[in-house]
Structure 1
């Protein structure tokens, strides 16, 4: 049976228009009610990345998080927002990116993700340390941003789930697996398979091209996409952007490992990638190494702890889980 990937044109983050776009893109998948049942605890996992460049479209837009949370609540679910940014806390980065007022309006808790080891079916990664909150949620809704990436070419749905790895562990993985970009890509694919999000909705209304994930520039794309299969959605977005799938380690490894359906096994009930094709999407001018040496890991860990416990406020939004 073909895996549906729903793609539409969406031009605005205006609240009412975005709500209509979200309803439309989810219709071929059965709507939000196909994924969320009354009483479900639903983790919303946006790309929070950084609080330092809110005008550069580095993170999932608050308006999309709000629209998704509203639909989850309408379906009877109990949404909460969680991430583990590389630097700082989920609360601090969410606040810097304008999410706090929307979270308070919906009584949407913002939680820090904490790690726990879980077994995988890949002997090369027999245990991965990922978010306990993600693994114990009834539903995970993955909300990535379309961005170029100076280490991985593109960051989409699979890479966004690396945010479910505790902050300081990210630096460790860059050291442990970063010398082999394909091994690093495999680790990201296995992390995504372990978390297995029920739904991925990609924010491509405005993307971030060039030297991403934070050093590039905003780019109007006018695209909203959704699928129950994060690998199929990433494959479709790579096609839409005109990027060689084998040049994107997460996509290349998802194909090698059989996690991603074959192209002829993906169905497009609305628009196709060709309908939305972008001819001149800007990739990074030059790719950078992924691996971190031990001194960089120490510096990265210290920076994370400094921002998390000293620079940022220690209070967090006390929503109800």
Structure 2
């Protein structure tokens, strides 16, 4: 039977909740590569509640440091509005300082992995995630206009660097198929531990809604389906109505049935919690949002001849081998480019631009 922890906490007093999470779901970290992944949707102030609060990240990093020595990396690939700005997003949110020196721009190096043929034959996943022995995911307790809620499963969407996220949005074509795509991404590298920042949550039309909710909790578990089922119940949802939870359960990734989940703590639904439309139509039928997604998927990298020094770093690091160097200037093969934008992020001269 899966177990989910629900523990009282504030941003000033997180240690008891984090200690309890590691007691309930112990991780063998000795000599291991540990990747800690917060939810960094975009650059914002911590008080906006859009990203995992830096206090939660700092508490988890501090806890991991006290355990058997391990190699720690903190990183994420921000969402649609922050491509190529990983450092800036971490700095603005306060997560850079919270990373305690372990931050790495994991968008700079990616590995091509087989994906679901109904969407894309391959996707690029940050190498630091693929090669980690232990992945600790730190989702934010939030709503989402397309998947209704974003938690343990949806946080793994940040494994994909660059505009692949927008491309999958577009290729999905409907809210239900996007739910399926989210599960397929999650399956690429299932994290080992989930610690959810529910001290201050978000309701309304997330994932960047101004409507915040004081909740005062930290959730944790080692099974994402169970964690998300508990989050859904707290939001007043029937977990079985969420397609991504049903699909994850069908794939053998866990259960959303609350009768089969042991709760460490008290599961109490939040009064009058504001939800987006259950089917995701608020985003799918929004012409402005669809135009934005399409514009992101049309972006391609191009070398600025004024700034490029022909060092070849972009060619060497392109995971899709879509770059070549004729006449001392990188050229992009559009047919091979998977819009991960690793070249833009890794360029030492910042000479790769998106057009």
Do these two structures clear the TM 0.5 threshold for a shared fold by scoring above it? yes
Distance 1:238 1:298 in 2: 31
After TM superposition, give the deviation of residue 246 of structure 1 in Å. Answer: 4.2
**How many Å separate the matches in 1 of 2:98 and 2:184?**
32
| Other-structure match for 1:240 | 234
Match of 1:289 among 272, 278, 284: 284
Give structure 1 stretches of 5+ with no counterpart.
315-321
Matched with 2:194 is: 200
Structure 2: state its 5+ residue gaps.
302-339, 351-355
Q: Secondary structure at 2:232's aligned position in 1? A: helix
Q: What's the RMSD between the two structures over aligned residues?
A: 2.7
Higher relative contact order (CA 8 A, sep 6+): 1
Following superposition, the deviation at residue 90 of structure 1 comes to: 2.2
Distance verdict in 2 for CA 1:279–1:256, change over 3 Å: farther
Q: Deviation digits for residues 253-310 of structure 1, max 9, x if unmatched? A: 2234332224333222x2142xx321211112672208846743346778x97xx76x
Bigger share in helix: 1
* TM superposition score normalised by structure 1: 0.82
Shift of 1:247: 4.2
Q: 1:181: Cα distance to partner?
A: 1.9
- TM-score, structure 2 normalization: 0.75
State the secondary structure of the residue aligned to 1:51: coil
**Greater C-alpha Rg:** 2
Select between 135-144 and 45-54 the one with higher mean Cα deviation: 45-54
2:90 matched residue in structure 1: 94
The correspondence for 1:255, drawn from 244, 249, 266, is 249
Divergent runs of 4+, >6 A: 299-302
Aligned residue pair count: 294
Q: Could you report, residue by residue, the CA deviation over 1:157-178 in whole angstroms, capped at 9, with x for unpaired residues? A: 111110111121111101111x
CA contact (8 A) 1:59 1:145 kept: yes
Equivalent residue of 2:50, what SS? coil
Are the equivalent residues in 2 in contact too, given 1:153–1:247 (CA < 8 A)?
Answer: no
Q: Distance in 1 between matches of 2:17 and 2:140?
A: 16
Shift of residue 156 of structure 1? 0.7
Q: Aligned partners of 1:92 and 1:129: how far apart in 2?
A: 22
Q: Is the 8 A contact 2:32 2:71 kept in 1?
A: yes
1:192 Cα deviation from its structure 2 partner = 1.4
**More divergent stretch after superposition (92-101 vs 107-116):** 107-116
Q: Are residues 143 and 250 of structure 1, via their aligned partners in 2, closer, same or farther at CA, if it must alter by over 3 Å?
A: same
Residues 1:263 and 1:138: Cα distance change in structure 2 (over 3 Å): same
Q: What do the CA deviations read for 1:33-90 (whole angstroms, capped 9, x no partner)?
A: x214222111111011111354310100101111111111111122211111122422
Is this contact kept in 1: 2:96–2:103, CA < 8 A? no
Task: Please identify, of 234-243 and 45-54, the stretch whose mean Cα deviation from structure 2 is larger.
Answer: 45-54
CA–CA distance in structure 2, aligned partners of residues 95 and 213 of structure 1: 20
